[in-house]
Structure 1
Amino acid sequence: MKFKAFLTQDGVNLLDKRFLPALDKLGRICHVYLTPDHAMFLHNLLGGDGVQSVAQFKKDVLFRDYRISSQNADRIAFAIDAALLHRALRSAVTIQTQAGDGTASIQIKLVKKLPAGSRNSAPYLTFETKGLRSAVVQDVPISKPLSRTDVLQLQSALDAAQDLPRTLVQVPDLAQMQNLVDRLKNVGDLLAVAITQYGDLHLQVSTSLITVGSEFRRLRVLGVHANAPVGDQNLSAPTRTEMAIQRGEALSIHVSMKHLARSLQCHLAKPDCAFYGIAPQGACLMVIFQFFIPGTRLTDKSISFHCRLPVLDPGSS
């Protein structure tokens, strides 16, 4: 089992300034999943009841001289502490900058080393920053690489996590959503989310004493869409939503307010826009982030990032 590559400058900037800060907010421990074509960072795909997330990059976005081999069809996966990974990368970047000769490069590779005071070797993800005059090595501890069975299970979970909702609505900007969540989380922990094929997003928190909510209407719709009935326009938001559900033109679920607040941290990755959708049969709330090719409005298909928020039973709150 071997992996080594050099980080590109674009890869360093993407990870250091955008994705690793976001991934650390989602959960400290994540899986790194490397294949011949992609590098991925995954949260909670192999268990846990938290937010699932998938950040996927084509290998050339992050690396050059990318070399990988394993008995699992050249696929390698392991768990790592996102905060430690980010700290090691930042140190490598500092060393690279201090070299000042324009030749310093950051190589990343899997190694086994004997920890101090131990008789058994342990796996590490190693950063080696090389310049003309010096080289600095930093080791980040990782889990034992996943077995063939676990890699297959991870790939199956990844495939399942890619299923898109039939209807997606483009959500408002981060500041607006963050302000709303800050207000709603003071009311309760269980959030009702409804999405219609008309482009409406309805968020509501209820307790025995109060119900507070907000609705965003006529949002951009991707996928299955429908025209809102003219006669519904003067009805209340809950009534319109309930009627849309009865017509099969909307879905409604309950999610954790904490999970939604955590998913908003993904905006640290600086996506250009975000879409919300409810999976078929109300399986989860999916948040999909879209990135544009710099200087254009064209989707950058070399990067993808999405979250899945688990559904909660209203009766359990």
Structure 2
Amino acid sequence: RGFAIVSQSSKNLATARTQGRRSVRNGARECGTVRRGASSPAGMKFKGVFSLVGVAWLERFVPIFDKMGKELSVLLTPSTLHLVMGHTVSGGLELHADLLQEEVFDEYKISSNNSDKIAFKLEPAVLFRVLRGLIGTEATNIEVKLIKRAMGSERSLPFLNFNSKGMVDVVQDVPLAGPLSRREIEDLEALVQANVVNVPYWLDLDRQAAEGVAAAVERCRAVGLRLELATTRAGALHLTTSRGGGVTLGTEYRGIPVLPLAEDGG
């Protein structure tokens, strides 16, 4: 799994029974429509069973995107789940979280006419509400699939359908824009690959260190439009910015824990 942020500019949930398990269908609130028959979009199928770890990871990452913009692109491939947000949506940043499908799903099936890749757009706030609800209801089996629902005699719309079982059975639909075209998928892949740098280590910032770095970035914003960031295997982080007239501001952090540990072969 990985998460990348690249700066592009300075702007930068009916009751069926009263005993035992209850069943709730949450469609009208999320979709704003009455549920009708569902089918898979033409030429493509996606169905998976989430692992509990996978739901926890998504519930951690999605709020980051929700804070940055109102539109999140999801790219599914045979091996990886990518969450992507471009700089035009975020207001200056390009962000992507890349998760191996075996880390997110216990079962995973995908097929399409585009090399078995599927992409679509959704509102991160809606997805986050669904994920938070799944965790809150302590769901033990969570299925997700891509569907189309008829909205009248001549129109159907795509949804990401969540069906969870536990103390409460829940069915929810998240409205989608898409599926995206081959060209749009290629654009998402290009964005992800452009921001992947093969650095064999991570700096493990705790909350105190992260808050300190955030404060330093705010100070740098008052000086320059571009921030340069550098890290070292010894656990140092350097932030530098400048502007015309010879004004330069720099901050250095040392002793930050490095992962993986050297003895682990990192």
1:129 matches 2:164:
yes
What's 2:238 paired with?
Answer: 201
Q: Determine which of 110, 116, 127 is the counterpart of 2:146.
A: 110
| 1:93 counterpart SS class | helix
What's 1:10 paired with?
Answer: 53
| 1:79 counterpart SS class | strand
What's 1:158 paired with?
Answer: 192
1:57 matches 2:99:
yes
Q: Determine which of 119, 122, 136 is the counterpart of 1:94.
A: 136
Q: Would the aligned equivalents of 2:51 and 2:106 in 1 still touch at CA under 8 Å?
A: yes
What's 2:176 paired with?
Answer: 142
Q: Name the count of aligned residue pairs.
A: 218
Q: Would the aligned equivalents of 2:87 and 2:93 in 1 still touch at CA under 8 Å?
A: no
| 2:78 counterpart SS class | coil
What's 2:123 paired with?
Answer: 81
CA, structure 1 residues 217+109, in 2 after alignment: closer, same or farther (shift >3 Å)? closer
CA, structure 1 residues 212+156, in 2 after alignment: closer, same or farther (shift >3 Å)? closer
Percent identity between matched residues is 29
Q: Determine which of 68, 92, 95 is the counterpart of 1:26.
A: 68
Query: Residues 254-269 of structure 1 correspond to what in structure 2 (within 5 A)?
Result: none
Partner Cα distance (1:49, 1:105) in 2: 37
Q: Would the aligned equivalents of 1:32 and 1:42 in 2 still touch at CA under 8 Å?
A: yes
Q: Provide Cα deviations, 1:239-278, integer angstroms capped at 9, x if missing partner.
A: xxxxxxxxxxxxxxxxxxxxxxxxxxxxxxxxx86xxxxx
Q: Would the aligned equivalents of 1:92 and 1:128 in 2 still touch at CA under 8 Å?
A: no
Alpha-carbon offset, residue 89 of structure 1 = 1.5
Partner Cα distance (1:143, 1:24) in 2: 17
Q: Would the aligned equivalents of 1:128 and 1:135 in 2 still touch at CA under 8 Å?
A: yes
| 2:92 counterpart SS class | coil
Q: Would the aligned equivalents of 1:96 and 1:129 in 2 still touch at CA under 8 Å?
A: no
Q: Determine which of 206, 209, 214 is the counterpart of 1:178.
A: 214
**Residue type of the alignment partner of 1:59:** Q
Partner Cα distance (1:136, 1:194) in 2: 45
Q: Determine which of 59, 63, 70 is the counterpart of 2:112.
A: 70
Q: Determine which of 149, 155, 169 is the counterpart of 1:120.
A: 155
Alpha-carbon offset, residue 178 of structure 1 = 1.7
Unaligned segments of structure 1, at least 5 residues: 98-103, 221-271, 274-289, 301-317
Partner Cα distance (1:127, 1:56) in 2: 21
Alpha-carbon offset, residue 148 of structure 1 = 2.2
Partner Cα distance (1:9, 1:298) in 2: 27
Partner Cα distance (2:90, 2:170) in 1: 37
Alpha-carbon offset, residue 140 of structure 1 = 0.6
CA, structure 1 residues 183+217, in 2 after alignment: closer, same or farther (shift >3 Å)? closer
What's 1:190 paired with?
Answer: 225
Alpha-carbon offset, residue 299 of structure 1 = 9.3
Q: Would the aligned equivalents of 1:96 and 1:106 in 2 still touch at CA under 8 Å?
A: no
Partner Cα distance (1:21, 1:63) in 2: 20
| 2:180 counterpart SS class | coil
| 2:137 counterpart SS class | helix
| 1:111 counterpart SS class | strand
Query: Residues 39-54 of structure 1 correspond to what in structure 2 (within 5 A)?
Result: 39-44=81-86, 50-54=92-96
Query: Residues 241-252 of structure 1 correspond to what in structure 2 (within 5 A)?
Result: none
**Residue type of the alignment partner of 2:173:** D
Partner Cα distance (2:223, 2:197) in 1: 30
